[in-house]
Copies of this chain bind each other. A is one copy, B any other.
Amino acid sequence: MSNLTLEDIARQAGVSRSTVSRVLNDHPNVREEVRRRVLDVIRQTGYHPNAAARTLASQRSLMLGLVLPRSVSSIFSDPYFPRLTQGIAQACNHYNYTLALFLVSSAEDEAKIYPRISRRGLLDGILLQSGQIGDQLMDRLLASNIPLVVIGRPFNPDGVSYIDVDNVNAAYNAVSHLIRLGYQRIATIAGPDNSTVSIDRKEGYARALQERGRKIDPSLIVEGDFTEAGGYYAMQSLLPARPDAVFAASDAMAIGAMRAIHEAGLRIPEDIAVVGFDDLPFAATATPPLTTIRQPIAPLGFKAVEILLDLIENGAQPPRRVIMDTELVVRDSCGALKRRSPG
């Protein structure tokens, strides 16, 4: 591998450093013949410019940071994180940025990470997966003035640019679908109350019921932790209330709920209909196949990068907000394919 510098290339091509730099950065004002000569030398020598030197001189690192806090890195069992990362990585490739990944999996990490990511000369901007209430890191990052895009609605969104899925509407649509199918006692297995995702999905549930003049029955609302096991126990505690349908705030919980329903000797959807949220791969092959909400996770990651680049180029004011639509995927577990009823 070469340890060549701009200087070497310049000498070999018989031009000055500046000219080589111009060629490298696609600046105009270089005679075509000279440009070609320089490119030839670069190709022959296998020269690559030094990233650190470039960053230092230009004050741009062409690097973005993705910060995933503990709450997320523990949800490794669901493909949300990989999908999101994939979308983000694709966008980085597309726009010629490098992606730095920060997984905050312990309190110790958290202390170490802030100084690292706030170091100047390392990152041009940061993507932060949030949605947790009382996110200290977000506040510090915001205060540090580094371009920041939060993924997931922050609890306090003042002045922060963020992107999120329309969770309220998604849940609203799922529950409305169940109402249209004629279910009378529609329960929900919500997520933990300390995340905006859970709050929003629960609100969509409530809104759908209220708009149809239904009362919210607290005995039909139970909290899970987004896991299969959580859904299983939540469903068990829900059974005495005799729901005829249940909207789970995640597919994992929906699958757990289905397990509990089957174990209780009940049928899906005849006795209890189930709707999930996420459209994980196994939703389609569950027994019965799960009706659920599909989120555009990778596109969301891609878009997050585009917002961040916009912030970097054009300043952080005003804050940008993007809310992405979801899609209801109807399969067997909601009973739509078996029964009909008045809308």
Confirm or deny: A165 has a beta carbon within 8 angstroms of a beta carbon on chain B: no
Q: How far is the CA of A116 from the CA of B99 in the complex (A)?
A: 11
Contact partners of A56 in chain B: CB under 8 A = 50, 52-53, 56
Whether the Cβ atoms of B82 and A48 lie closer than 8 Å is no
Q: Chain B: which residue is nearest A146 at the CB level? A: B1
Confirm or deny: A294 has a beta carbon within 8 angstroms of a beta carbon on chain B: no
A122-B285 CB under 8 A given contacts A1-B144, A85-B103: no
Whether the Cβ atoms of A1 and B118 lie closer than 8 Å is yes
Confirm or deny: A180 has a beta carbon within 8 angstroms of a beta carbon on chain B: no
CB-CB contacts below 8 Å: A117-153 with B: 118-122, 143-146
A101-B120 CB under 8 A given contacts A56-B50, A93-B109: no
Q: How far is the CA of A85 from the CA of B259 in the complex (A)?
A: 31
- Per assembly, the copies of the chain total 2
CB-CB contacts below 8 Å: A43-97 with B: 48-56, 61, 63, 66, 73, 76-77, 79, 81-83, 85-86, 89-90, 93, 96
Contact partners of A228 in chain B: CB under 8 A = 281-282, 285
Nearest CB of B to A198, in Å: 21
Residues of A within 8 A of B (CB): 1, 3, 48-56, 61, 63, 66, 73, 76-77, 79, 81-83, 85-86, 89-90, 93, 96, 98-103, 105, 108-109, 112-113, 115-116, 118-122, 143-146, 228, 255, 259, 281-282, 285
A-B contact pairs, 13 of them (CB 8 A): A1-B146, A50-B119, A51-B119, A52-B53, A52-B61, A55-B55, A77-B79, A89-B103, A93-B113, A96-B116, A99-B101, A99-B102, A101-B101
